[in-house]
Structure 1
Amino acid sequence: MIRGKCARGVMAGIALVWLASAGTLGARELPAFKRNGETTQLHLDGRPVVLISGELHNSSASSPAYMAPIWDKLARNGVRTVIGTASWELVEPEEGRFNFAEVDDQIRQARQRNQRLVMIWFGAYKNAESTYAPSWVRRDEQRFPRAVRDPAFKAMGMAAFLKFNPALSAFGKNLASADARAFAALMRHIRQVDREQTVIMVQVENEVGLLADSRDRSAPATAAWEAPVPAELTAYLERRRDALKPHLLQLWGRGGFRTSGTWREVFGDDRAAHEVFMAWGFSRYVDEVAKAGAREYPLPMFANAWLGPQARAPEPGDYPSGGPVARMMDVWKAGAPSLALLAPDIYIDDFAGTLADFQRDDNPVFIPEAKPEAGNLFLALGQYRAVGFSPFGIEDVPEGSELFQAYRALNTMVPEIVAAQASGTIRAIRLTADGSQRVDLGGYTIAFQAAPPTAGAFGPGTGSAAQAPSPGYALILQVAADEFVIVGRNVAPRFELPGQQVELDTTVEGSFAEGRWVPGRTLNGDERWSLFPTDSLRTVRFRLLRRPAP
């Protein structure tokens, strides 16, 4: 156990901390988000990357013995970045007494396998609850007041089941200070022990917000609700009025776009207005915690969102009110400027629509939690230029799965993917069960449909009893004039050009290795009828021949 007492007062700025840490870490550049061509990318060791990663179950990393066999499985299956956890209850089981054993084990195990880590700080909030806060915090309700909910609130969805779980008030100043001190101790420890920069990003808290009411009604929250709206927020809204999300613009506009007054006067007094108030409260809370950690070790930090509104959770409080959902992004950008991005946890069917809501110039797309669907990985990287994709519960994904096949294929071409993201020469499609899709790239329209059934399409050992193939998906890169590389499964592409007849000149199966194309078989004849099998991924390089249409 390590005894620690966080220093009081204002600490040195981030720049000075970096100068100090540079002497410890050498001259290595810290991970950072940088603009590169048409997009913003995560740079590690001075180079842009994408994170083809996976998130552990919440409690897995609390036991090194439980995790021992999992590390090799993840490394064997191409999971090069693991999202692990550090929980406040284990890091600071007694106030001022710190234990980093589980954190150190994650760093050690990942480093041995040349993996990187994204660390989640389960502080006072995890899934809109406070179950990961230490017992000494939850027991002291005088010092750390609980959020108060209206007992008459009719909650829908998961909120109806979670309404009796502990939720601390984000408006209690003691809580933010204690959480920030513990997080600062964690980041200081990581800086000291992780000289190889195994940890590359940190998520601050997890799916914050309030369930089972749209507004915290505790005494400190009510005092904040009745106070004037902070000038930082109204000034931000003024600056971005023409770019605000329609929902927020409408809420602000119904009161006449006031720039002063109480929350009720500026935004109203209904669930929608309460969500704005809670978003400001939670964003300021997370920013205070994040800044305390960044003063110790300024890795990129982000917050994640439990999505809403949803069909079964249509109102704030049915989903966590005040969380960094898409329609509250502007409030969060104003309230938590120290965060590099706001990230969606996506378990709903509308994966593409969610990414479209979160993609903006000041918010690189990163998916820290999702279902383990390979098609969504392709869509994220190719269509929305995501910096990473991480299915939740990655240790449960079976060996040889479709997802791990995709990881192995895409890991070999990360330099090509990031270069194509920067130049805008990348696209992706994911077909519906009976649909088709078209994309424009390099002057061509590429029409995709499901691969036609052919003899042996399901591979050896299968037959009529074989399970139907999953809907197709593909990643498309333009690599030269009239040349494309497609990584796909269960798709049939057709290249079109107005006024031209387009033929396949050559189709070569292959792969990438250390930044170069390694050709395999040249596919021709009837093999061109099914270039992308229904049961496995294939990478094919196309060279096209265009002729005037007859």
Structure 2
Amino acid sequence: MHNSSGYPIGRKGNRQYEEDCERSFQSLKAIGANTIAVPVCWDAFEPEEGAYDVSYVHTVIDNIRCHGLHGILLWFGTWKNGQMEYTPAWVKKDRKRFPRVLCKDGTETTVLSPHSRSNLEQDAKAFCALMEIIRDYDEKQETILAVQVENEPGIYAATRRDFGEAGTKAFEEDVPEEVRRTAETAEGAMHDSWVKNGRRKQGNWREMFGPFGAELCTAWAIAGYIDEIAARGKDIYDIFMYTNVWMDRNSDYGWNLAGLEYPCGGAVSKCLPLWHCACGHLDAICPDIYEQNPEAVRKAYGIYGKEEQGWPLYVPESGLTAVNATCMFDAVGSRQAIGYHVFGIESCLDPEGRLKESAEPVMHSFTMLTAAAGLLLPGGGAQAIHAFCQSVGQDSCFLEVGNRRCRVSFAGVAMDYAGWVPFDYHHGRDSEGEPRRVPVSLTEETARGLLFCMGEDEFFLVGHKVRLFFTEQVPEDGSLPAGWMNGQHLAHGMEFLCLEEGHFEEGAFVTDRIRSGDEARHGIWAQYDCGVVHFILGTSQGRN
């Protein structure tokens, strides 16, 4: 949802709130989502100190239930986008009890200090009260799947550390031993700074890490602050908890300066090893990805998706863009992402409540991932999953699939086709109104798909504007089979024991439409609304 949608979703009796609430859920239905991420704002939850609005949380959960969805609750507490905007007025007014981060010249920022026990304790009390309400109201029904602890934490102000008394004391203290050990083994900026400053065994943050020390000191304070809040919350209700990250764009862009281009102290790429060290009670540390460069998006998946280290990839915010719609197939198929959210989903609708054309690519992707959900979940039965995504200007790609070779075409059947051509009357010979060419800009929707290998010859496919051709492996004697010389002959020569469209019900595949004849002799094609394509290939005469 948009940031302030949590207010109307958690309120009753106000016509405008009810209209806004309905608009939020209408947008989710239009885009094909199954989970809603709703902010729980500290100022609404605890408007007066110690007075928690239980009905606010109950109403949020009730609204999610009545629309048949699951929910993620986002705790907007000490931090929201590197600021303190959602803290209650009584916290903002009492600057002595709830100290702010100070700049070097003594200027107070609009950020609560992560070095203050008073700040932490007040936030933790409210968070624990929230967890008690969720547990008591929802533990049996499990409407709420996860809770986000804070939002894009850090200092988004003209300083990289707190120059207040507590912050200065922390900066001048010796770096904890576990941080030094992390620096020894980490890859990237943290390790490089430690090496550059003499591989010291002991010293304060400046002595150990030089100019990078201030950012790491702030990150250590914030990570510990959030992990303590998560630990207390898990003691009450042990649900999936994570925090999200206003990224540093993988440290590849701009000035790469904390405090100016991203909140200092957040779990950005260069600080991530330290956060992993500090946050033993979080289940994931998650990137908010708004990049328009597909390679930058995929690089972020690799940085934050460390399943082998116990850190799954989960994208809690991303853009409503064609690039994102395609890249999420890489996240799910290649990086085993456990969830993918698009931010500000109400913006997918026009004033009349219709899905905007610009939002269709994400809707297409959500439709396909929903259709394939049973295959993606543990126990889905796939021996391997291949993700393929078209780049701008790309007409095809190539996969090794078991004992077969697979050509994935994004540009029709043969050389005389310049773009996507479906082959059944449900879609028409040509996609109406679409140019017959490969996409040439990042604003255009590109093809993508997931191929699930269930056995040597059996497969499931979900995809959009893709067409698959299979051959055996290349002969070892240097020859080329005659049937490969012509694309049409190759397509016609594929033998199917089964080719059908369908869907899953309680784990079982149900056939909706059988393909044969013209629908089967031009490759195995898929469009987003085909459901799941199931096919079994015949074994060639050259293979036993």
TM-score range normalised by the length of the shorter chain = 0.7 to 0.9
Residue 25 (structure 2) aligned to one of 49, 59, 71? 71
In 1, Cα distance between equivalents of 2:230 and 2:421: 57
In 1, Cα distance between equivalents of 2:522 and 2:460: 17
| Amino acid aligned to 1:264 | R
Give the aligned partner of residue 447 of structure 2.
Answer: 472
Give the aligned partner of residue 432 of structure 1.
Answer: 391
In 2, Cα distance between equivalents of 1:249 and 1:385: 28
In 1, Cα distance between equivalents of 2:176 and 2:380: 38
1:442 aligns with 2:402: yes
Residue 367 (structure 2) aligned to one of 408, 411, 420? 408
Deviation by residue 1:443-499 (Cα, 9 ceiling, x = unmatched): 444332313236678758933689976210101111221222111112233335433
Q: Are the equivalent residues in 2 in contact too, given 1:470–1:534 (CA < 8 A)?
A: no
In 2, Cα distance between equivalents of 1:384 and 1:536: 24
Q: Are the equivalent residues in 2 in contact too, given 1:425–1:442 (CA < 8 A)?
A: no
Query: Which structure ranks higher in relative contact order (CA pairs < 8 Å, sequence separation ≥ 6)?
Result: 1
In 1, Cα distance between equivalents of 2:502 and 2:299: 33
Deviation by residue 1:66-97 (Cα, 9 ceiling, x = unmatched): 21343255246532211111111111111111
Give the aligned partner of residue 509 of structure 1.
Answer: 501
Give the aligned partner of residue 281 of structure 1.
Answer: 221
Give the aligned partner of residue 374 of structure 1.
Answer: 325
| Amino acid aligned to 1:489 | H
In 2, Cα distance between equivalents of 1:451 and 1:164: 58
Deviation by residue 1:139-162 (Cα, 9 ceiling, x = unmatched): 11112221123579xxxxxxxxxx
Give the aligned partner of residue 432 of structure 2.
Answer: 462
Give the aligned partner of residue 348 of structure 2.
Answer: 397
Give, in angstroms, the shift of residue 226 of structure 1.
Answer: 0.3
1:451 aligns with 2:407: no
1:529 aligns with 2:513: no
1:213 aligns with 2:147: no
In 2, Cα distance between equivalents of 1:528 and 1:266: 66
Give, in angstroms, the shift of residue 275 of structure 1.
Answer: 2.1
Question: Structure 1's 311 and 538: CA in aligned 2 closer, same or farther, altered over 3 A?
Answer: same
* 3-state secondary structure, aligned to 1:217: coil
5 Å matches for 1:475-486? 475-486=450-461
Question: Structure 1's 247 and 441: CA in aligned 2 closer, same or farther, altered over 3 A?
Answer: farther
Q: Are the equivalent residues in 2 in contact too, given 1:181–1:292 (CA < 8 A)?
A: no
Compare 414-423 and 280-289 and name the one that shifted more: 414-423
Question: Structure 1's 305 and 125: CA in aligned 2 closer, same or farther, altered over 3 A?
Answer: same
In 2, Cα distance between equivalents of 1:421 and 1:307: 33
Question: Structure 1's 517 and 215: CA in aligned 2 closer, same or farther, altered over 3 A?
Answer: same
In 2, Cα distance between equivalents of 1:441 and 1:103: 49
Question: Structure 1's 528 and 84: CA in aligned 2 closer, same or farther, altered over 3 A?
Answer: farther
1:86 aligns with 2:45: no
1:340 aligns with 2:283: yes
Give the aligned partner of residue 125 of structure 1.
Answer: 79
Question: Structure 1's 496 and 331: CA in aligned 2 closer, same or farther, altered over 3 A?
Answer: farther
Q: CA RMSD in A?
A: 3.0
| Amino acid aligned to 1:329 | L
| Amino acid aligned to 1:449 | S
* 3-state secondary structure, aligned to 1:510: strand
Give the aligned partner of residue 245 of structure 2.
Answer: 305
Residue 365 (structure 1) aligned to one of 313, 331, 337? 313
Percentage identity across paired residues of the two chains:
28
Question: Structure 1's 136 and 470: CA in aligned 2 closer, same or farther, altered over 3 A?
Answer: same
Give, in angstroms, the shift of residue 307 of structure 1.
Answer: 0.9
In 2, Cα distance between equivalents of 1:384 and 1:124: 31
Give the aligned partner of residue 145 of structure 2.
Answer: 200
| Amino acid aligned to 2:339 | G
Give the aligned partner of residue 486 of structure 2.
Answer: none
Question: Structure 1's 466 and 483: CA in aligned 2 closer, same or farther, altered over 3 A?
Answer: closer
* 3-state secondary structure, aligned to 1:59: helix
Deviation by residue 1:298-324 (Cα, 9 ceiling, x = unmatched): 211111111113523522222122111
In 1, Cα distance between equivalents of 2:411 and 2:531: 13
Deviation by residue 1:483-521 (Cα, 9 ceiling, x = unmatched): 221111122333354335685322333332321222322
Give the aligned partner of residue 188 of structure 1.
Answer: 132
Gaps of 5+ in 1: 1-55, 153-162
Give, in angstroms, the shift of residue 267 of structure 1.
Answer: 1.4
In 2, Cα distance between equivalents of 1:396 and 1:259: 52
- Number of residue pairs matched? 479
Q: TM-score, normalised by structure 2?
A: 0.80
Q: Are the equivalent residues in 2 in contact too, given 1:93–1:135 (CA < 8 A)?
A: yes
In 2, Cα distance between equivalents of 1:210 and 1:182: 21
Larger Rg: 2
| Amino acid aligned to 1:332 | W
| Amino acid aligned to 1:406 | S
Question: Structure 1's 456 and 357: CA in aligned 2 closer, same or farther, altered over 3 A?
Answer: closer
Give the aligned partner of residue 168 of structure 1.
Answer: 112
In 1, Cα distance between equivalents of 2:214 and 2:400: 43
* 3-state secondary structure, aligned to 2:111: coil
Question: Structure 1's 252 and 416: CA in aligned 2 closer, same or farther, altered over 3 A?
Answer: same
In 1, Cα distance between equivalents of 2:117 and 2:330: 42
Question: Structure 1's 424 and 454: CA in aligned 2 closer, same or farther, altered over 3 A?
Answer: closer
* 3-state secondary structure, aligned to 2:298: helix
Question: Structure 1's 125 and 94: CA in aligned 2 closer, same or farther, altered over 3 A?
Answer: same
| Amino acid aligned to 1:475 | L
Compare 104-113 and 219-228 and name the one that shifted more: 104-113
Compare 485-494 and 219-228 and name the one that shifted more: 485-494
In 1, Cα distance between equivalents of 2:447 and 2:38: 31
Compare 340-349 and 458-467 and name the one that shifted more: 458-467
Residue 226 (structure 1) aligned to one of 172, 188, 205? 172
In 2, Cα distance between equivalents of 1:439 and 1:276: 42
Give the aligned partner of residue 485 of structure 2.
Answer: none
Give, in angstroms, the shift of residue 225 of structure 1.
Answer: 0.2
5 Å matches for 1:17-28? none
Q: TM-score, normalised by structure 1?
A: 0.79
In 1, Cα distance between equivalents of 2:528 and 2:144: 35
Q: Are the equivalent residues in 1 in contact too, given 2:219–2:266 (CA < 8 A)?
A: yes
In 2, Cα distance between equivalents of 1:418 and 1:455: 31
Give the aligned partner of residue 102 of structure 1.
Answer: 56
Give the aligned partner of residue 271 of structure 2.
Answer: 328
Question: Structure 1's 183 and 493: CA in aligned 2 closer, same or farther, altered over 3 A?
Answer: same
| Amino acid aligned to 2:77 | G
Give, in angstroms, the shift of residue 544 of structure 1.
Answer: 2.7
Give, in angstroms, the shift of residue 165 of structure 1.
Answer: 6.7
In 2, Cα distance between equivalents of 1:322 and 1:125: 12
Q: Are the equivalent residues in 1 in contact too, given 2:389–2:446 (CA < 8 A)?
A: yes
